[in-house]
Structure 1
Amino acid sequence: MTGLDQQPTSTDTTLPRGPLVGFATGSLGMGVWVTVPGLLLLYFLTDVLAVAPWLAGLALLLPKIADVLLHPWVGHRSDVAQARHGNRQRLLLLGCALPVAFAALFAVPGALTGAPAAAWVAVVFVAGNLLFAAYQVPYLATPADLRIGYHERTRLMAFRMVVLTLGILLSGLLAPLLAGGDAATRAGYQRMGLLLAAGMLVTLLVGVTGIARLRRAAATPTPTHGGGWRALVAALRDRQFRWLVAAYLAMSTTTHLVLAAVPYYAEYELGRAGLTTVLVGAFVAPALLVTPAWLVVARRLGKQRALLVAQGAFAVGSLVLALGRPAGLPVLVGAVAVLGVAFAGMQLLPFSMVPDVIRAAGAAGAGTYTGVWTATEATGAALGPYLYALSLAAGGFVASAAGETVTQPGSALAAVRYGFGLLPAALMLAALLLQRRYTLDATARAAN
């Protein structure tokens, strides 16, 4: 019996493995969208399309600002669909068009460079984020829609986390290679976008089928109303939810900053762009092994305490990375692996705590709560690369086109290193302090 197959307590409905795997498979495609733009898009703009760092950061930030409004609205529409039709399937199917936007994101037309290229990426990113919200929001509302308890919600999200990690790992390793590795070109990025988009489509459709099967196995009665904007007000007034969201904003900002910084750290601190794949592997691969362990820790300590441990470990690992090349490559790769272990906990635990909050509040608007949550994640996904782009700009980093060689000033190299180490450590410490204000976990655990 694996860690993911531990039997739930007697108060839980046990979800069958087949639908669990189908549900989790949808995270493969979601993992590509979460990972590849976060990993390569800033680098693609500054080192392939010759976009200045400040403008590149802005091109990635502005579309995410729109998400703050779009995600709660998508959550509201998801609740309306749940009330009217007894499921959220129509939005999920709309979200399956996401691969089209992903392919277009890296297919910048003609010879566009600089500001026009940044504008193309920004516009396509807005469309892609809307499609991603259409899939992600109803997808993540699933645990709150099911007749399951505290530990079974964690088990459900553990299956999702393992498969999501696999998607992050595969796309994080394949995308740089498909783009051309050390000699990446515009054509290489376009080819990469098309190939990964094809895989995304298949996995997203499998996820829709898996959700339908889970609902047949353990769906709660359909609410008579869709929550509406009153559910949004209730979510924003929910003290426990506010602290959880605030902490997750800091966590999401930190992890996306680290992801965006990896190509720069590999090339300018470690001296070889090809090490991007090694660092991504060290960051993501541990999660495939340790997610069952986090499930055990959460059962014994509770989700809240386990999450505080993960946050502390991430902060310590980030401080080691601030030492840079003098620490030696094995030590640095080991530090990235520590971040990966912590990252696994920070993906599993908060996502399984959100349905705890929804159930404790007795809220009908699970989609609205989830929309606010995913808007927070999207905001962090924007702020992370933007903060790193600002640190590069402050250090005087020089943008370049594909195949062009430039010499970076010492201040830019320092910004590459410390932006990858000290800044994430400070942000994660803030997340830890915010997370301590969340106090629902003991009550939710006792009520299982």
Structure 2
Amino acid sequence: MPTAPLPRSLRIGYGLGSFCAGTFSTVPGLLLLYYMTNSLGVPAGLAGLAVFLPKAWDLVVNPVVGRWSDRTVSRMGARRPWLLAGAVVLPPTFVMTFAGSPVTGATAALYVGGWFLLAATAYALFEVPYKAMPAEMTDDYHEQSTLLTWRMGFLGLAILLAGGLAPALVNIDGGEPTLGGYRLMAMVIGTVVLLAMVATFFGTARAPHIDRAETEHVTVRAQLAAARGNRPFMLLLGLSCAQMLAVGIMLAGSPYFASYILEDTGAITTMFLALIGPMIVIMPVWVRVSRRFDKRGGMLAASLLFMIGGMSLSATPAFGEVYAHGCVMLTGIGYAGLQLLQFSMLADTLIYDELRSGKRRAGVFTGLWTAAETVMMAFGALVLGWILAASGFVSSQPDEPVSQPDSAIDAILFGGALAPALLLSIAIACTLQYDLSAERLNALRKSRDATVADPA
């Protein structure tokens, strides 16, 4: 039986939490690799490792946090204490990641990577239980899409803020970014994130809670086995991993694309406006598309738009900067659909699992999901670092600019545009096999209700 629509105040309160995901996915993914190679003199391959390894830690910590939040019993509910813990720890560790290093070169990778590891752990404390909350607020198939529309709208604002404001603050003195600019950026963005996370903690205080099955206490191995037994979840996870890897490579390549292809460091801000602007405007359209053609049809359309935009971007040297911004805008329209629909579909797979198993383990699945999501985003930076290292890219410091070989320029063009587009073919293949629909969920509910009413 569908539940009542959620109040707007709750949708807003929940949606504000996406500032955490939007910022922590965007700013390190966008600036951390470039910060190390072009401000601290860290070799590109080693800088990629410093971005990737702290996020690989999520594979361990996220399922654990998911299990903890499933088992938590408190007057604040199962999830909200973890939101508060993340809000306390993430902002200061984020600031320290970009606050500058007392050393340069290879040693700086260890220093920055250590702070980034602490920030990644704090992110898990907040984001894993946060993603589990929609499935516990409402059972309605389309109400979840509406709730997540607010989340994705705020996510778009967060990425717009992070992708537009952060590079502008880093470049506040004009020309190449400075260490002082990175510090200023970290303080401003960290403060915004703190306020949004605290607002979500208080904004969800009166959220309805649908009683679920008794929490299952299982080992990490059993958690992985549970995920493998949920075919829609595994397909959704596969398409999400392909999308996140594509976005990770594109984000990490953006500063290099602006500096070396467009030869305008300020273009990174305008390109982000072109990418995220459509997300804010077009999100309600994707909701209507998902209602008309189901979520799978919407996902296929969004993936194709993202792919076409990325492939077209590779022709930028022939057509110029205005053309590049148009390609990014097309990619942004597709990205809006990808973001909205995958999280709406995630909520469906959580309900599907509970209807089949009778067990409460949403935190298990969201823990695995968040781990894969953040690891693949960071893996994008590692892949780009490998590409740059193999191409002969030369790392530097602000007061020691260098000229890059032609092979490095070609690698930036490939990594920043063509490779992300090609990865979307994997997402499309997974989407074609995904078959969880509203009708199938309703049939499972009726079967469960009939069993409860007549256990014999």
Taking the aligned partners of 1:92 and 1:282, their CA distance within structure 2 comes to 31
Aligned length: 435
Identity rate of aligned residues, in percent? 36
Q: Using the alignment, how far apart are the partners of 2:226 and 2:385 within structure 1?
A: 36
Distance 2:218 2:303 in 1: 34
| Residue 220 (1) aligns with residue 210 (2) | yes
Secondary structure of 1:397's counterpart equals coil
Match of 1:117 in 2: 108
1:446 Cα deviation from its structure 2 partner: 5.3
Question: Secondary structure of 2:72's match?
Answer: helix
Partner of 1:394: 390
3-state DSSP class of the match of 1:304?
A: helix
Note if contact 2:50-2:113 (Cα within 8 Å) is conserved in structure 1.
Answer: yes
Deviation digits for residues 368-411 of structure 1 (CA, Å, limit 9, x no counterpart): 11001101101211111111111111211111111322111111
**What are the superposed Cα offsets for residues 294-313 of structure 1, whole Å, 9 maximum, x if unpaired?**
11111111111101111111
Question: 1:25–1:204: 8 Å Cα contact kept in structure 2?
Answer: yes
User: Residue 327 and residue 308 in structure 1: after superposition, are their counterparts in 2 closer, same or farther (change >3 A)?
Assistant: same
In structure 1, the residue matched to 2:100 is 108
> What secondary structure sits across from 1:436 in the alignment?
helix
Q: State the match for 1:183 in structure 2.
A: 176
Residue 185 of structure 2 corresponds to 192
The structural deviation recorded for 1:249 is 0.5
Task: Give me the CA root mean square deviation.
Answer: 1.8
Aligned position for 1:3: none
Inter-partner Cα distance in structure 1 for 2:176 and 2:418 = 30
Alpha-carbon deviation of 1:145? 1.0
Aligned to 1:168: 159
Name the amino acid aligned to 2:282.
V
Which residue type is aligned with residue 100 of structure 1? Answer: P
Deviations 1:137-194 (A, max 9, x none): 1111011112331100111111000001101101211111111252321121112111
- Unaligned 5+ segments in structure 1 are 1-9
In the alignment, the residues of structure 2 paired with residue 89 and residue 446 of structure 1 have an alpha-carbon distance, to the nearest angstrom, of 29
1:53 aligns with 2:44: yes
| Conserved 8 A contact 1:150-1:444 | no
Distance change (3 Å), C-alpha of 1:109 and 1:425: closer
**1:139 pairs with 2:135:** no
Q: Which residue of 2 aligns with 1:411?
A: 407
- After TM superposition, list the pairs within 5 Å mapping 1:33-432 onto structure 2: 33-81=24-72, 86-96=77-87, 97-110=89-102, 112-181=103-172, 182-214=175-207, 218-221=208-211, 223-229=213-219, 230-362=222-354, 363-432=359-428
Tell me the amino acid that sits aligned with residue 224 of structure 1: E
Instruction: Supply the AA of the counterpart residue of 1:195.
Output: V
- 1:302–1:400 Cα change, 3 Å: same
Deviates further, 60-69 or 128-137: 60-69
Post-superposition offset of 1:226? 4.4
One-letter code aligned to 1:344? A
Query: What CA distance in whole angstroms lies between the structure 2 residues aligned with 1:441 and 1:227?
Result: 29
Aligned partner of residue 35 in structure 1, secondary structure: helix
State the SS of the aligned residue for 1:212. Answer: coil
CA contact (8 A) 2:20 2:127 kept: no
Aligned match for 1:16, one of 4, 7, 17: 7
* 1:64 CA drift (Å): 1.5
Contact 1:314 1:338 in 2 (8 A): yes
CA distance in 2, matches of 1:395, 1:424: 18
Q: Distance in 1 between matches of 2:171 and 2:217?
A: 48
- In structure 1, give the amino acid aligned to 2:429: L
Gapped regions of structure 2 (runs ≥ 5): 446-456
Provide runs of 4+ in structure 1 moved above 3 Å: 82-86, 226-232, 442-448
Does the 8 Å CA contact 2:316/2:323 hold for their aligned counterparts?
no
Deviation, 1:222, is 5.4
Q: Which amino acid aligns with 2:99?
A: A
Give the counterpart letter for 1:385 in structure 2.
Answer: A
The letter of the residue matching 1:209 is F
Distance of 1:85 and 1:315 partners within structure 2? 43
Conserved 8 A contact 1:236-1:242: yes
Is the CA contact 2:271–2:328 (under 8 Å) kept in the aligned structure 1? yes
Q: Using the TM superposition, name which of 144-153 and 47-56 deviates more.
A: 144-153
Task: Supply the AA of the counterpart residue of 1:49.
Answer: L
Contact 1:36 1:172 in 2 (8 A): yes
- Taking the aligned partners of 2:213 and 2:177, their CA distance within structure 1 comes to 51
Q: Return the alpha-carbon distance in structure 1 between the equivalents of residues 442 and 366 of structure 2.
A: 23
SS at match of 1:302: helix
**How many Å separate the matches in 2 of 1:445 and 1:314?**
29
TM-score by length of 1: 0.93
Q: TM-score, normalised by structure 2?
A: 0.92
1:178 to 1:366, Cα distance in 2 relative to 1, 3 A: same
Which SS does the other structure have where 1:188 is aligned?
A: helix
**Cα distance in 1 for residues equivalent to 2:232 and 2:337:** 20
Partner-residue secondary structure (3-state), 1:272: coil
